[in-house]
Chain A
Amino acid sequence: MPWPQELRMLKKVRHHCRIEYWLAGLLFAGAAAMLIYALLTFLAAPFSWLLPWRLPAALMTAGAGVAAIWRTLPGDVEIARRLDRDLASQERVQTLVENSGGQGVILQELRRETKTFFSRRQPKYRLDKKRFIPPALLTGAAAVILILSIVFTPRLAQSLALRQELLEQQQEAAEKIEEIIQLLPENPLGEELAAELEALKEEALRLTEPSEFETLLRETLELLEAGGEQAEAVESALAELLASMEMSPEELAQAAADPEFAEQLAEALNNLAQALPQNISLAETLGKLAENPSAADAGQWQQVQEQLAGLDPAAFRESLSKAAQAAGLTGNRPGGQGSGSGNSEPGSGEGQGSGNGEGQGSGNGEGQGSGNGEGQGPGNGQGQGSGSGQGQGGQGSGQGQGAGAGTGSAVPSPSQYVYIPGEGEVILAGKGEAGEYTLRELLPNNPGLVDDYADFFSGYRRQALSTLGRSQIPRPLADYVRSYFEAIAPQGGK
């Protein structure tokens, strides 16, 4: 339907209405395009391949918007209604447009009368400001979102990358520990350590700060070291015990009747029981046996002998150093972790040896001894053992004695012990004239404090972190707890 001839004078106003509609529509289309651009910018934080598609997508959206405006462009009747409203023409225009093809006296009159109506008052275009409010608001909001997306996306991407890195770091640490666990032998010593390492592995998956990983690795190393120490202790106690028990179970049962031997046996048994981790059953068995060795029968002795054979501290120790190497821990061992108890006497070691002699009828005895030296600390103790055997006619029973010589400088430098929680110096209140003194001053004379604290710290921390992992507490609070532990962590020579 063409615009009625009689309404020629309204053509200009009609044109303005169309332009107004276009403008409002373009605002909408622009807002949609900006929103799409912003959306893709945000999405590009994890999916960076989206970046080059932003502009094409925004342009396509704008194009679709223009097409939509074109399709929904108001028709003549709609514009006529709008004009009737604006011009207070009492529905003349829409009636005329709706009946533009019609005939009849009244329609003719309507055309004539409408013409006179508009000849009396000039039709004036009034901008429909209200129509621009929603698109203008939307466009403004879209622009803000667009700016935000451009400003914040790099940071978002960065934090996503950091998060990814953290996950990888957690995974890596856990894998490292798992590797160590796999290398441990399947005996009570190995299993005991494996359980502790397992706990560390779980902890690794909960860490958030790089410094925490450092602490964790340090703890792992400490565990390994402690394992090594224990293995050494077990090894020497075991050698001593085995030396005493070098006979058949029946003979052993008989020999134990001798109170002197029984006492010797009880001491050796107790030594090994002390050296073993307390919570393994062998330690308990040995402890019980030591209470009254003479009461044990041959069967019990045989059982003990079998169990002792299963304990292979040397292999365990070896696997520990292998594990530490395999996990690449030895190379980057955090410095200055002075753990160890050293003898304060320089240059003296204690050696224990057990020797087996084999004798031959010729009367020549050959003895072999193996000795262990103790001496730890920054100085390494070395033990050497020498055994001498005696042979008796055709039978090779030998006894060996070993003497070990240990070397090492057993006094650690004070700085290696000094840990300073956090940044500052810890002031301890003293008594009498001494007044206040610092931990730094205290430590050289009380090196054991460090070990205690390190043990205390790692247990405390593990407990706290595993509790954090189990409970639902807000992240900032969890971080707060973590930072607390970082602050009180024993520090090496940093």
Chain B
Amino acid sequence: MDLQLIDKLGRVKEEIGRAMVGQQEVVDLTLTALLAGGHVLLEGVPGLGKTLLARTLAQVLDISYNRIQFTPDLMPSDITGTNLIRAGRDEFEFHPGPVFASLVLADEINRATPKTQSALLESMQEGRVTVFGETHDLPRPFFVIATQNPLEMEGTYPLPEAQLDRFLFKVLVPYPSLEELREIVTLTTGTSQVEIQPLMTGPEILAVNRLAREVPVAEKVLEYALKILVATHPGNALATPGVRQYVQVGASPRGIQSIILSARVTALLAGRFNVSFADIEKVSLPALRHRLFLNFEAQGSGISPDAIIAEILAGTERG
């Protein structure tokens, strides 16, 4: 029965927690995005457990997993795969690339050239890969967790705005606290190995996604989300002073889709069957922060999208 899946979700979180110390918010949001059928961009310096999280998720959800390390010399075909001639036969056979997995970790995505980046992002969007005119469907479910280093380094190619819009969430990975560090050390430098128990399957994830789409959203709650979204548009009457001053382009309709869909999953993860104002508020930041494009003034005065969204949330009335 479908509903038992929802009970499982809580256990999935617990199981991840066995391997992953702290980072509750990152784990929650990543899981939420995956169940909502969206992709996640994780931003953080190396060594904060991003790879560990992706691997653990793949184990718990019992889905295929590939990690692609993005480098400047990575070619599109290194991701999508290519046609090869099989020895002894005179026909081409498609050799699938690492993108053919249910969970793909695109590590340091901004180190590859835009051409290579867009090869991944197009397959993310369409759920299939086209090589030499032939299309090949990606497995279902299909999730991409991309990581990027927050530091603008030499030889990186920042993702273009249109590509960023394809991620459901952009999640910032913080440094662990002292306590968490202590735990991490104990956990990883000892003799014991954490064995992760597979608790769900790919089809079950798809089923949860279907259920989530049924979760009702009350009129006022939807209105609240809509108000938040239009408040990011500098020309709108609801725009806050910060938006008017610093935002060049506000969030697209994909922003509201992301908010509502992920808020539905958030409700389910909390064991609720309706979307609350709090659910909307919780997902607004990761769903919108990569969709606001700030002007030079904001960059000059060190204003972040997070500050502007916080201002919007503080100024938007519920109901």
Which residues of A come within 8 Å of B, CB atoms?
A: 77, 81, 85, 90-92, 94-96, 98-99, 102, 104-107, 109-110, 113
Q: Which residues of B contact A113 (CB under 8 A)?
A: 271-273
Q: Which residues of A contact B272 (CB under 8 A)?
A: 90, 92, 113
Q: Determine whether the beta carbon of A90 is less than 8 Å from that of B278.
A: yes
Given contacts A90-B274, A91-B277, A92-B274, contact A105 B214 (CB under 8 A): yes
Q: Determine whether the beta carbon of B217 is less than 8 Å from that of A95.
A: yes
Q: Which residue of B lies closest to A104 (CB)?
A: B214
Q: Determine whether the beta carbon of B3 is less than 8 Å from that of A109.
A: yes
- Over the window 276-308 of chain B, the binary record of Cβ atoms lying under 8 Å from chain A Cβ atoms (1 yes, 0 no) is 111000000000000000000000000000000
Q: Complex Cα distance A102/B274, Å?
A: 13
Would you call B164 an interface residue if the criterion is a C-beta within 8 Å of the partner chain's C-beta atoms? no
Q: Determine whether the beta carbon of A91 is less than 8 Å from that of B215.
A: no
Q: Determine whether the beta carbon of B214 is less than 8 Å from that of A91.
A: no
Given contacts A106-B211, A106-B215, A113-B272, contact A81 B278 (CB under 8 A): no
Q: Complex Cα distance A105/B319, Å?
A: 27
Would you call B219 an interface residue if the criterion is a C-beta within 8 Å of the partner chain's C-beta atoms? yes
Query: How extensive is the interface on chain B, given as a class?
Result: 20 to 34
Q: Complex Cα distance A81/B221, Å?
A: 10
Q: Which 10 A-B pairs have the closest CB atoms?
A: A110-B273, A95-B274, A90-B276, A106-B214, A95-B218, A109-B273, A91-B276, A94-B218, A99-B216, A95-B216
Q: Determine whether the beta carbon of A91 is less than 8 Å from that of B211.
A: no
A-B contact pairs, 30 of them (CB 8 A): A81-B220, A81-B319, A90-B272, A90-B274, A90-B277, A90-B278, A91-B274, A91-B275, A91-B277, A94-B218, A95-B217, A95-B221, A95-B275, A96-B274, A98-B216, A98-B218, A98-B219, A102-B216, A105-B2, A105-B214, A106-B215, A106-B216, A106-B273, A107-B214, A107-B216, A109-B3, A110-B216, A110-B273, A113-B271, A113-B273
Q: Which of B91-129 contact A (CB under 8 A)?
A: none
Q: Which residues of A contact B214 (CB under 8 A)?
A: 104-107
Q: Determine whether the beta carbon of B220 is less than 8 Å from that of A94.
A: yes
Q: Complex Cα distance A77/B319, Å?
A: 12
Q: Complex Cα distance A110/B276, Å?
A: 12
Q: Which residues of B contact A105 (CB under 8 A)?
A: 2-3, 211, 214
Q: Chain B's nearest CB lies how many Å from the CB of A3? A: 16
Q: List 6 other contacts, CB 8 Å, given A105-B214, A106-B211, A110-B216.
A: A91-B274, A92-B276, A98-B219, A99-B216, A105-B3, A107-B214
Q: Which residues of A contact B274 (CB under 8 A)?
A: 90-92, 95-96, 110
